[in-house]
Structure 1
Amino acid sequence: MQQPAVRILSSSVLAKKVGGTYYDDPLDEVYAMQRARALGVNVPAFRRLVPIDDFGSYYLVMERVIGDTLEQLWRSMSLWGTLRAAWQLRGYLRLLHTVTAQTTGGLHSGRTRSIWLDDQRGPVRHASPAAFVGYLNWWLVNCRPEYCTSYPELVLKPAKDHILVHQDLAPRNMILDSHGTLYLVDWGISGFYPEYMEYFGIDATSSLCSMQWLRERTWAAWWGRLRWSLFRWVAAGSGSRFRDAWKAFGVISIRTQHFRLDKTPFSDEL
């Protein structure tokens, strides 16, 4: 019988199912939550990991945040409420970005996990910024030259340092409690990455895809999309500085899906 993804254990505690695959390391999420909480970011407090089976699945037991997600609130949220939540997120991002490293990926495993990278191997664990960018640029320039166009004009430069990013700041992963305090949940793919990978996570099209009503040709849908653009701008600034990286990842994302078994000189060993 399949275990539910989330179990409500009490009014103040819940358990979330994590792990169970080669790519998952529950301690990546635990360490990121603890680091963010120590910085002052509102994150559910970690309680314990409880093993479920022999395949690496666990229940991550944590504090239960009582409130509604931005996804649930977005249709009725006022402009003032939007700006207040965005300003809180802006503060959290500034705190997270003070944590830097010369590595890439999860805080414990060093594995790279991203919705934008779908190849079988991924970069070598704990890759340096140069190695990580070398991996990305291989997909742009060297991937299947007999089939794929080379894009040397999109080649990325390594960041001086990688920063701690959540990487999945969609409305479903932000909760407002009864006092209007913002909490960030679901740190499963967080880790050390370039700053643009945080911005990609709150891009309007990818973050709002679960709210189908925003696709409607109505005043409410137009207002909802406009408020999200404003929310994103207040929280994370203008995306113009990441325009080239966005173009590069548009190519990289497709190629890592189509040629998932290809190995780069910077790939992890299975």
Structure 2
Amino acid sequence: MAHENRICHRAKSTLLSIRLWIGNRLFGTVGPHGVRISRHRLIKGPCESGEVAALKYVAEHTSIPVPKVLKVHNFRDALYIELEYIEGDDLNTAWRCYLSPEQKQQILAELGGYMSQLRSLEPPQTGLVASASLESCIDYRVGQQTFGPFDGHADFHSFLRGYLPVEDCTDVFGQKVTDCHVRSYRSCFAHADLCPRNIIVKDGKVAAIIDWACGGWYPEYWEYTKAHYGQCNMPDWYEGLASVIGRYDDELHAERLLWKLCDEPATPMIIARDH
């Protein structure tokens, strides 16, 4: 039986390799990790299991348009997701090139409704920071490694400070970081990479929100601050973002300090004390 399973797995891997090769030749790549394999399908990978969980969770609990998960493949010791391919342009291109002011406002209004649904979902635990599968998260704001899950925001904030004790926080990062890291927040489900390249539009409307790799439960401000990480030159997009998510200016100020001063938050910091 084990021998037959190995043969079956090898055959499936070979078939998937062929599909990816043909798809790449005929249709090309989609983003940094995807290959379109037909008019209506693409395969993305390698991925974390949390991305599959996020796509399924959002599809089940909201009306947010997301690509349908068609199949999950174990390939080359990694996870690959076969997804519905959504026709349209990414918002980054559409916003800069051809959307009218009225269409931009309509898209922002649509996104506001979708984010309201997402942020209204009840977390399974107060203060939770975790992926949609309630396991470790991935977020390029903190590096390439997975992290968490955390049972409370205090532990998550400690992680973001490189485990620097909160009593040392003001001296190292400034009062704004301390103020935000001792504040109470709701846990909200976040896309956690809500940038124009991850929003597909067609005929002046939102066709899909894609790339849920970072999706999960975070403090309520995370969606807003993460949307400014790696900020692109689209001032009117960021002006409209507050109407989509709500403003978290103190938290954005604090996060920008951390982006500058603690870009690898998993690395513990040693603070010299005077005695």
Quote the residue 2:211 is aligned against.
Answer: 186
Q: Does the alignment pair 1:135 with 2:159?
A: yes
Residues 226-265 of structure 1: matches in 2 within 5 Å?
A: 226-237=235-246, 239=247, 242-257=248-263, 260-262=266-268
Residue of structure 2 aligned with 1:72, choices 75, 93, 96: 93
Q: Judging changes above 3 Å, is the alpha-carbon distance between structure 1 residues 28 and 159 closer, same or farther for their aligned structure 2 residues?
A: farther
**Are 1:53 and 2:76 counterparts?**
yes
Alignment partner, residue 35 of structure 1: 57
- Larger-Rg structure: 2
TM-score (ref. length: structure 2): 0.73
| CA deviations over 1:38-75 (Å, ceiling 9, x no partner) | 21111011111112212xx2221111101111112122
Query: Structure 2 vs 1, CA of residues 112 and 255 (structure 1 numbering), >3 Å: closer, same or farther?
Result: farther
Question: Which of 100, 104, 107 pairs up with 1:82?
Answer: 104
**Given that residues 119 and 256 in structure 1 are in contact (C-alpha distance below 8 angstroms), is that contact kept between their aligned partners in structure 2?**
no
Q: Is the 8 A contact 1:133 1:158 kept in 2?
A: no
The one-letter code sitting in structure 1 at the alignment partner of 2:211 is D
Unaligned runs of 5+ in 2: 1-16, 22-28, 271-275
Q: Which amino acid aligns with 2:242?
A: W
Give the Cα separation in 1 of the matches to 2:36 and 2:144: 34
Query: 1:110–1:142: structure 2 CA closer, same or farther, 3 Å change rule?
Result: farther
Question: Partners in 1 of 2:40 and 2:264 — Cα distance?
Answer: 44
User: For residues 168-207 of structure 1, what are the alpha-carbon distances to aligned partners after superposition, in whole Å with 9 as ceiling and x for unaligned?
Assistant: 111110001347233100000111001211002333x734
Q: Which contiguous aligned blocks of 4+ residues in structure 1 show a shift greater than 6 angstroms?
A: 1-4, 142-145
**Could you say what secondary structure the match of 1:200 adopts?**
helix
Q: Is the 8 A contact 2:129 2:149 kept in 1?
A: yes
Structure 1 segment 133-212 matched on structure 2, within 5 A: 133-136=157-160, 138-139=163-164, 141=166, 149=172, 151-152=174-175, 154-155=177-178, 156-157=181-182, 159-178=184-203, 180-203=205-228, 206-208=230-232
The count of corresponding residues between Structure 1 and Structure 2 is 234
Correspondence for 1:17: 45
Partner secondary structure for residue 221 of structure 2 = helix
Question: In structure 2, what is the Cα distance between the partners aligned to 1:163 and 1:245?
Answer: 15
User: In the aligned structure 1, how far is the partner of 2:103 from the partner of 2:204?
Assistant: 11
Q: Residue 153 and residue 93 in structure 1: after superposition, are their counterparts in 2 closer, same or farther (change >3 A)?
A: closer
CA distance in 1, matches of 2:173, 2:202: 49
Matched residues in 1 for 2:41 and 2:183: separation?
41
Query: Contact 2:199–2:208 (CA<8 Å) still a contact in 1?
Result: yes
User: What is the rounded CA distance, in whole Å, between the counterparts of 1:87 and 1:153 in structure 2?
Assistant: 31
Give SS of 1:47's match: strand
Tell which deviates more after alignment, 187-196 or 112-121.
112-121
Letter in 2 for 1:262: P
Query: What is the TM-score normalised by the length of structure 1?
Result: 0.74
Higher relative contact order (CA 8 A, sep 6+): 1
Q: State the Cα distance separating 1:110 from its structure 2 match.
A: 2.5
